[in-house]
Amino acid sequence: MEEIIEKYFSDTLDEKEKAEFELQLRADQTLAREVANYIQLKQALKQELLEVRHTEWQQIKPVKKLNMPVVYRVAAVMVAVIGACWFWMHSASPSLEEHANLYIKENFGQRSIQMGAARDSIQLAVSLFNKGELAESRDISEQLLNAHPENAELLELNGITYLRLHEFEQALSKFKKMEGLDLYDNPSVFYQAVTLLKRNEPLDSQEAEKLLERVINENLGEKKAAKNWLLNK
Amino acid sequence: MRLNIKKTDDQTICDGIEQGGLGRRHYENILYEKYAYMIKDGVWKHKLSEDESSIAYSDTILSVIENIAKRQFEHRSVLKTYIFQIFSNKCVDFIRKKTTKKSAVYQTDTINEYIQQLPDDMHNAIQQLILENETVRIRKALKKIGEKCYQLVIQWSEGYSDKEVAEMMEFSSAEVVKTSRKRCLNKVKELIGGL
């Protein structure tokens, strides 16, 4: 009985089945009771889900109270700092390698944890990554990739982990695989450039420049950063 | 697929949620963070506390996720407008519920949503069969069925298919998920003394 009720509310019954169900609902008190039970169960689950996800989301982005006068003072200071930084940046532009180091520091330091699926192996890999246990995280994400070789999120995590472990060949291999996936805004070519700049062997810098130009010309992920780096090198 | 909130456009988010599976959660979190600034609106416009406004916002995002996953978001308006409309209604509902029923924090409108799907002449009959405190008892029972069962029924309530749940929770097949879920729901029934 639960199955037909589920199908009714998920609108997967055809018109004839739906009409029969509604006819039976009017005549059969047991069915009416089961429908009421089903609705209550869904209500309880929805409330439970709201509590679970709300708690998770608060850990990603807790609500902060704003003190408006302080906000205005901070904004004024920030404008002054940004102005000073603009003069400083235009008098001494960083090299591509320095751009890459800064990018790694700002973007590859922590990954987002999705607490709701705490037992999920990918979340374990992310959790280990965030704790700095990179080798363990790498091993887990490698295992998962055996089962899911074209999972972009896993390839990205795995590639970044290898990069942070300075296993550059492996990192490049993962980002190359990611390049072959049909993704919107695919950053894998940019990541290959970052890896080469970090490795910094002979001819890596020139190769990285070519990749950054590809990112711009083919409108790939992180195009804005690529443009900025090439403009300001 | 970096978690870069500012750059991920709405279409990418919708596509990611619609695709389901392991990646869906990632896009759900991006969606949550992208429009979380609306929580302030709940405080300023509707005079809710920050906690109340953030609960209303979380409820909004869950509703939007459900609609996107079921492909019921038809892109007639932009996603921001859609979310904002739902959020405003949720804030108003929140105030109304606060004044009439001071107990539960995580109130939802699920009962009405389901009853509206039934024929009009059955609304009252089913409403009368729904017991007032049953939801509280069911939620208490849910906390006693064990972690695996709990995750199973929660993911079912989120609209994940049995196949997706099998992949995420490492069950051997969708059939096993279905059987396990039935067993878990029976446990809930036993705990509340026959629902």
Q: How far lies B71's CA from each of A23, B25, B37, B80, in Å?
A: 29, 17, 25, 17
Distance from CA of A129 to the nearest CA of B (A): 15
Q: Note whether A60 contacts B: Cβ–Cβ < 8 A.
A: yes
Do A156 and A145 meet the contact criterion of CB atoms below 8 Å apart? no
Burial-class residue B110 by CB neighbours within 10 Å (0-12, 13-18, 19+). Answer: buried
Nearest Cα neighbor of A197 from A106, A129, A120, A101 is: A101
Flag the least confident range among A119-133, A190-204, B17-31.
A119-133
pLDDT band at residue A35 using 50, 70 and 90 as cut-offs: very high
> Which residues of chain B lie closer than 8 angstroms to A66, CB-CB?
40
pLDDT number for residue A78: 78
Mean pLDDT of B14-41: 89
Q: What are the chain B neighbours of A151 within 8 Å (beta carbons)?
A: 22-23
Look-up: residue for tokens 């047991």? A30
A40/B contact by beta carbon, under 8 A: yes
What pLDDT is stored for residue A119 in this prediction? Answer: 42
Q: What pLDDT score does B4 carry?
A: 46
Q: Provide the pLDDT confidence category of residue B2 given band limits of 50, 70 and 90.
A: very low
Shortest CB distance from A61 goes to which of B36, B121, B182? B36
Supply the pLDDT for residue B73. Answer: 82
Query: Residue B3 has what pLDDT?
Result: 44
Give the pLDDT band (50/70/90) at residue B195: very low
- Do A42 and B110 meet the contact criterion of CB atoms below 8 Å apart? yes
- Under the banding of pLDDT at 50, 70 and 90, the label for residue B181 is very high
Written as one letter, the residue type at A16 is K
Per the prediction, chain A carries an average pLDDT of: 83
| Minimal-distance CA residue of chain A relative to B70 | A10
pLDDT exceeds cutoff 60 at A170 = yes
Q: Quick one: pLDDT band at residue A118, thresholds 50, 70, 90? A: very low
Over residues B163-186, mean pLDDT: 91
Instruction: Flag if A32 and B108 touch (Cβ within 8 Å).
Output: no
Residue B167 and residue B23 in contact, taking contact as beta carbons nearer than 8 Å: no
A67: pLDDT strictly greater than 60: no
